[in-house]
Amino acid sequence: MEEQPTQTVQKSNNGPLTGVFRVWGWILLVWSAYRYFLEFSEPIDEFIFKPFIFLGPVLCYVLYIEKRSLSSLGITKENLFPSLYAGFGIGFLFALEGIAANYIKYGTLMILPIQAFQQYGFFLIPISLATAISEELLARGFLFNRFFEKSNGNLIYSAVYSTAMFIALHMPILLTSLKFQGVTLFMYFLTTIALSLANAIFFRYSQSIVGPILVHVFWNMTVALYL
Looking at residue 186, its pLDDT comes to 82
pLDDT over 90, % of the chain: 55
pLDDT digits (tens, 9 = 90+) for 93-140: 877 877 777 777 777 766 655 555 566 666 778 988 999 999 999 999
CB distance 207 to 74 below 8 Å: yes
pTM of this structure: 0.85
Length of the chain measured in residues:
227
Residue 110 backbone zone (phi > 0: left; psi -120 to 50: alpha; other: beta): beta
Res 172: pLDDT: 87
